[in-house]
Amino acid sequence: MIPELGHFALIMALVIALVQSSLPVIGAAKGIDSWVAMAKSIARLQLFFMLIAFAALTYAFIVHDFSVLYVASNSNTQLPLLFRISAVWGGHEGSLLFWALTLSLWTGAVTVFSKSIPKDMLARVISVLGMVSVGFLLFMLLTSNPFDRLAVAPAEGRDLNPLLQDFGLAIHPPMLYMGYVGFSVAFAFAIAAMLGGKLDAAWARWSRPWTAIAWIFLTLGISLGSWWAYYELGWGGWWFWDPVENASFLPWLVGTALMHSLAVTEKRGTFKAWTVLLAISAFSLSLLGTFLVRSGVLTSVHAFATDPGRGVFILIFLIVVIGGSLVLYAWRAPSIRSSVSFNLFSRETALLFNNVILVVVAASVLLGTLYPLLLDALGVGKISVGPPYFNSVFVPLTIPLAMLIGVGAMMRWKQDKPGRLIKALAPSLVISIVAGLLLPLMADEYSFGAAIGLMLAIWITLSTLQGVRLRLANKGYSLQALASVPRSFYGMSFAHIGVAVFIVGITLTSIYSEEKDVRMVPGEKFVLKGYSFEFKGAQSEQGPNYIAQTGNLSVTKDGQYITDLNPEKRVYLVQKMPMTEAAIDAGLTRDLFVALGEPRGEEGAWSVRIYVKPFIRWIWLGTIIMALGGLLAATDRRYRLAKKMAESDKREATV
Amino acid sequence: MKPARKKRLFFIIFLITGIAVAAGFALYAFNQNLMFYFSPSEVKQGKAPVNKLFRMGGMVVEGTFKKEKNTLKVFFDITDYEKTVTVEYTGLLPDLFREGQGIISRGKLNSDGIFVAEEVLAKHDENYMPPEVAESLKKAKK
């Protein structure tokens, strides 16, 4: 009964989405006020039915309703409650339901925080979001209904993929989806503005906090995925340039470009057409990511289903969305040319550089991700593009970006004097170069790569701090000055320092990590980077739905006891699937990482993988700081006072 | 030309050059790092390069998996049921590695015709067969 209710709620949601995608936008075009006024309530009604559908599926998981195919395939009576709930979005059908629910949630949020937005604009935005919703609901109902029943309910479910039975992965998809789907709001604003023919600064201002919030979720989602891969996949890497990872990284790159270009559009009224294009691209790449991950064209942990019908549907949907928006763009773009001019040496130029670099990076990642798929689809041959390609392109392209971060943020709009910047930044530059060159001397061996990475990180930090200092200096270093600087400025500075922390992490981890696969007999010691790992043997243990072999290693450094590490080798009983659970001793300056391989020989020997990874935590720490910066920027009071701003804009415009 | 326009022109030229350099650079790196896939049959026919990285996939032949004593070196044969190639690998094998399972490995062919793998991948699903392997098996059967 409950699953049927869920199914019914999905159908209702689709019907409402159809209304939502047509009535308000037509009302806005024809000036029918009553239709425009309906937008909010329709959107909320759709959210209501999506919540019912989602609750129905969650309920089916909680009570072990194995007559539902999706529950039977992804759950088990032994599965703990937390993972039964996360299993709701652990498979293909459920994750789509979650996607659609997320979209409704964003739409609902737009209806709540939209007091400053004109009714026509809001109606169009909600309609555009409704159209996306229609696509996803149709997809679900036609090809992947999570509520499909089995004729005969099995006594026991097939269990959730053991890889997904982990806290990090329970929250990774929701975060990522919030980000992916969040870009649909920026997209909807762009499309709505084009439909309405009013691409002004106000449009960019409404869009900015939404884009920033979507970006925060995406940043955290990608970061969680990386963290999960690090501790769960058992080979200690944090980024593999796997197509699935790229699928989430592409919208991030373009979304980052979008945030910066929105700033120019809002503050200076230029880059208008470009910003619209970026908004379309960011969302299209989110859809492409969903397509790549869900259609089964990619073979990875994430590809749940390989049903060609689904792939074709998403592909058509993708073509309709991208094609439709580009047609609209081509029609409207000529009329949205900006007339404001700016000097070459200005913040606008710096942000243009930022955009160009980010987009070029995104394009080269896209090339490496899609090219093998294309060749394969054409039947020309099977190739793969590995991490060496991505690293050799990504690193040199992003170095200039990193060099410009602090400088660009300090530059003034319209025009600036090189002399002012040189004077302000010369000491920082000298300190960065000297400190960057000297610091690697503290490591076991000198690395020029590490020197460059550290120089960049210190340079970003110092130039950003100098930017903050100058900003305060203008106002005479008082508490009032601290408070009068807008929160979004602190947000930006924070996020930029997050980049610096991130750079320290990736540089030092990539260069100074040491990894060894060794065969160890109980009692044997192995020394890596000054840490002595003593293997004490392995024994059997019983978990709730698995049996584990748990190893014990005692770690010492210079005779001082550090910690005991207990890596596990689990076999999950239902799917008979072996899993490596690494043991990690985390620290700010280094992680100790140990994973068990397999028994080797009679004396209780095991193959063991030992890693010492310096500064790896800084990678995720950096992303958290970036996200915090985003949060500060998104909650700037300007956006809450947007109405007043819109009025003052009018005044400015007339001047 | 007015100085402002000249400046703008320089700027645009500079930007386009920059993008062109970046693109050329990306394409170069792309060509350098393309990795091809060969089936054991193709390797035996001499289609695969010697001493250059490529990927090879197939089924691990039952009864061929050997561990070297006291080290982590292992040997096993992989096959597309047509031809068989011996693989040498040192290190930890993935969780799902076993005889009779489809795997993909990345490595180089040495002069003795042994494939020295740097990485061995087995999929995280019991029924899973890497698509490359499935296809080469199909081809070999024909």
Contacts of A579 in chain B (CB under 8 A): 95
Contact B126 A609 (CB under 8 A): no
Q: Mean of the pLDDT values across residues A196-220?
A: 90
- Location of structure tokens 């289903």: A305
Residue A301 has a pLDDT of: 39
Contacts of B29 in chain A (CB under 8 A): 388-389, 392-393
Q: Mean of the pLDDT values across residues A13-35?
A: 94
Q: Please, what sign has the CA dihedral across residues A540, A543, A548, A553? A: negative
CB of B115 within 8 A of CB of B107? yes
Proportion of chain A in helix, strand, coil states, percent, rounded to 5: 65, 10, 20
Contact A364 B72 (CB under 8 A): no
Please check the confidence at residue A565 and state whether its pLDDT lies above 70. yes
Nearest to A124 by CA among A211, A28, A19: A28
Q: How confident is the model at residue B140 (pLDDT cuts 50, 70, 90)?
A: low
Q: Find the range with the poorest average confidence among A107-111, A420-424, A551-555.
A: A420-424
Give the integer Cα–Cα distance in Å for A335 and A333.
5
For β-strands A560-565 and A568-572, DSSP reports them as unpaired
Contact B72 A384 (CB under 8 A): no
Radius of gyration of chain B (CA): 23
Give the integer Cα–Cα distance in Å for B129 and B111.
29
Assigned CATH topology for domain B37-141: OB fold (Dihydrolipoamide Acetyltransferase, E2P) (2.40.50)
Q: Mean of the pLDDT values across residues B5-13?
A: 75
Residue A653 has a pLDDT of: 43
Which helix (H) or strand (E) segment holds residue A345: the answer is: none
Residue A303 has a pLDDT of: 41
Q: What angle do CA A11, A15, A21 make, to 5 degrees?
A: 135
Max CA distance (Å), chain B: 80
CB of A610 within 8 A of CB of A593? yes
Contact A389 B30 (CB under 8 A): yes
CB of A615 within 8 A of CB of A531? no
Please check the confidence at residue A614 and state whether its pLDDT lies above 80. yes
Give A326's contacts (C-beta < 8 A, 6+ positions apart): A280
Q: What is the distance, to the nearest Å, from the Cα of residue A347 to the centroid of all Cα atoms in its chain?
A: 27
Residue A42 has a pLDDT of: 96
CB of A296 within 8 A of CB of B128? no
Which of B19, B30, B67 is closest, CB to CB, to A600? B67
Give the integer Cα–Cα distance in Å for B50 and B110.
6
Give the integer Cα–Cα distance in Å for A388 and A153.
49
Give the integer Cα–Cα distance in Å for A384 and A376.
10
CB of A438 within 8 A of CB of A384? no
Residue A182 has a pLDDT of: 94
Nearest to A67 by CA among A5, A9, A2, A8: A2
Instruction: List residues in chain B touching A: CB distance below 8 A.
Output: 7-8, 11, 15, 18-19, 22-23, 25-26, 29-30, 32-37, 55, 67, 69-72, 90-93, 95-96, 106, 123-126, 130-132, 135
Q: Find the range with the poorest average confidence among A25-39, A305-319, A623-637, B64-78.
A: A305-319
Q: Mean of the pLDDT values across residues A322-346?
A: 82
Give the integer Cα–Cα distance in Å for A169 and B124.
16
3-state secondary structure of A271: coil
Amino acid identity at A27: G
**Sequence ranges of the domains in chain B:** 1-34, 37-141
* B29 min Cα distance to partner chain A (Å): 6
Amino acid identity at A10: L
Name the closest residue on chain A to residue B90, using Cα atoms: A517
Residue A320 has a pLDDT of: 93
Nearest to A230 by CA among A168, A179, A161: A168
Residue A271 has a pLDDT of: 86
Output the 3-class SS for A380-434.
Answer: CCCEEECHHHHHHHHHHHHHHHHHHHHHHHHCCCCCCCHHHHHHHHHHHHHHHHH
A490-510 burial: b if 16+ Cβ within 10 Å, else e: bbbbbbbbbbbbbbbbbbbbb
Q: How confident is the model at residue A650 (pLDDT cuts 50, 70, 90)?
A: very low
Q: Mean of the pLDDT values across residues A530-539?
A: 92
A1-10 burial: b if 16+ Cβ within 10 Å, else e: ebbeebbebb
Give the integer Cα–Cα distance in Å for B38 and A233.
26
Contacts of A386 in chain B (CB under 8 A): 33, 35, 106
A142: left (phi over 0), alpha (psi -120 to 50) or beta: alpha
Please check the confidence at residue B127 and state whether its pLDDT lies above 70. no
| Structure tokens that stand for A459 in this block | 């340079």
CA distance from start to end of chain A? 65
Please check the confidence at residue A652 and state whether its pLDDT lies above 50. no
Contact A383 B132 (CB under 8 A): no
Radius of gyration of chain A (CA): 27
Contact A344 B8 (CB under 8 A): yes
* B46 min Cα distance to partner chain A (Å): 17
- Residue A163: CB atoms within 10 A of its CB come to 18
CB of A312 within 8 A of CB of A222? no
Give the integer Cα–Cα distance in Å for A56 and A11.
14
Q: Mean of the pLDDT values across residues A464-486?
A: 85
CB of A92 within 8 A of CB of A100? no
Q: Mean of the pLDDT values across residues A425-438?
A: 94
Contacts of A344 in chain B (CB under 8 A): 7-8, 11
Please check the confidence at residue A446 and state whether its pLDDT lies above 50. yes
For β-strands B73-79 and B54-60, DSSP reports them as antiparallel
Q: Please, what sign has the CA dihedral across residues A242, A247, A253, A256? A: negative
Give the integer Cα–Cα distance in Å for A383 and A299.
14
What is the percent of chain A with per-residue pLDDT over 90, rounded to a whole number? 57
Give the integer Cα–Cα distance in Å for A42 and A16.
7
* B33 min Cα distance to partner chain A (Å): 5
Contact B29 A389 (CB under 8 A): yes
Q: What angle do CA A106, A108, A112 make, to 5 degrees?
A: 115
Q: How many CB pairs under 8 A join A and B?
A: 102
* B49 min Cα distance to partner chain A (Å): 14
Q: How confident is the model at residue A373 (pLDDT cuts 50, 70, 90)?
A: confident
- Predicted ipTM > 0.90: no
Q: What angle do CA B91, A447, A238 make, to 5 degrees?
A: 45
Q: What is the distance, to the nearest Å, from the Cα of residue A307 to the centroid of all Cα atoms in its chain?
A: 26
Q: Mean of the pLDDT values across residues A530-543?
A: 91
Nearest to A569 by CA among B128, B75, B96, B71: B96
Name the closest residue on chain A to residue B128, using Cα atoms: A299
Which helix (H) or strand (E) segment holds residue A551: the answer is: strand A546-557
What is the percent of chain A with per-residue pLDDT over 70, rounded to a whole number? 94
Per-residue pLDDT tens digits for A143-160: 889 999 988 888 888 888
* B132 min Cα distance to partner chain A (Å): 8
Please check the confidence at residue B41 and state whether its pLDDT lies above 70. yes
Q: Mean of the pLDDT values across residues A332-341?
A: 72
Which helix (H) or strand (E) segment holds residue B55: the answer is: strand B54-60
Which of B32, B37, B67 is closest, CB to CB, to A382? B37
Give the integer Cα–Cα distance in Å for A141 and A97.
10
Q: Average model confidence (pLDDT) for chain A?
A: 88
Which of A383, A396, A519 is closest, CB to CB, to B34? A383
3-state secondary structure of A527: strand
Q: Find the range with the poorest average confidence among A598-602, B2-6, B47-51, B70-74.
A: B2-6
Q: Which of the given ranges, A111-115, A294-298, A377-381, has the highest pLDDT on average? A: A111-115
Which of B19, B37, B70 is closest, CB to CB, to A383? B37
Which helix (H) or strand (E) segment holds residue A632: the answer is: helix A617-634
Name the closest residue on chain A to residue B32, using Cα atoms: A389
Name the closest residue on chain B to residue A398, using Cα atoms: B22
Q: What is the distance, to the nearest Å, from the Cα of residue A634 to the centroid of all Cα atoms in its chain?
A: 16
Contacts of A91 in chain B (CB under 8 A): none
| Structure tokens that stand for A478 in this block | 């008082």
Which of A344, A360, A518 is closest, CB to CB, to B11? A344
Give A176's contacts (C-beta < 8 A, 6+ positions apart): A217, A218, A221, A222, A224, A225, A248
Residue A291 has a pLDDT of: 74
Angle between the N-to-C axes of helices A167-196 and A308-332, in degrees from 0 to 180, rounded to the nearest 10: 40
| Structure tokens that stand for A438 in this block | 């000297």
Name the closest residue on chain B to residue A595, using Cα atoms: B92
- Location of structure tokens 């790896």: A616
Which of A356, A397, A579 is closest, CB to CB, to B15? A356
Residue B132 has a pLDDT of: 63
Mutate to test the interface with B, among A356, A389, A397 (most CBs of B within 10 A): A389
Per-residue pLDDT tens digits for A230-271: 888 777 788 988 888 899 999 999 999 999 999 999 888 888
Per-residue pLDDT tens digits for B42-97: 888 888 888 888 888 888 888 898 888 778 889 999 988 888 999 999 888 887 78
Contact B30 A600 (CB under 8 A): no
Nearest to A570 by CA among A579, A562, A583: A579
Q: Mean of the pLDDT values across residues A400-419?
A: 90
Contact A577 B36 (CB under 8 A): no
Contact A397 B55 (CB under 8 A): no
Which of A234, A392, A576 is closest, CB to CB, to B29? A392
Please check the confidence at residue A298 and state whether its pLDDT lies above 80. no
Mutate to test the interface with A, among B30, B71, B123 (most CBs of A within 10 A): B30
Which of B18, B26, B32 is closest, CB to CB, to A364? B26
Which of A163, A385, A607 is closest, CB to CB, to B34? A385
Per-residue pLDDT tens digits for A47-96: 999 999 999 999 999 999 999 999 998 898 988 999 999 999 988 889 89
* Half-sphere exposure of residue A181: CA atoms within 13 angstroms, side-chain side: 27
Which of B25, B36, B67 is closest, CB to CB, to A381? B36
Amino acid identity at A51: L
Contacts of B93 in chain A (CB under 8 A): 597-598
Contacts of A349 in chain B (CB under 8 A): 11
Residue B130 has a pLDDT of: 59
Please check the confidence at residue A299 and state whether its pLDDT lies above 60. no
Nearest to A348 by CA among A253, A464, A261, A273: A261
Residue B99 has a pLDDT of: 83
Which helix (H) or strand (E) segment holds residue A571: the answer is: strand A568-572
* DSSP letter (8 states) at residue A567: -
| Structure tokens that stand for A538 in this block | 């392995």
φ and ψ at residue A444, rounded to 5 degrees:
-65, -40
Q: Which of the given ranges, A5-19, A171-185, A586-600, has the highest pLDDT on average? A: A5-19
| Structure tokens that stand for A103 in this block | 């979209």
Please check the confidence at residue B141 and state whether its pLDDT lies above 70. no
Contacts of B25 in chain A (CB under 8 A): 393, 396-397
Nearest to A311 by CA among A139, A94, A141: A139
Please check the confidence at residue A272 and state whether its pLDDT lies above 50. yes
Give the integer Cα–Cα distance in Å for A566 and A564.
7
Please check the confidence at residue A442 and state whether its pLDDT lies above 50. yes
Residue B134 has a pLDDT of: 65
* A301 min Cα distance to partner chain B (Å): 7
Q: Please, what sign has the CA dihedral across residues B38, B44, B45, B47? A: positive
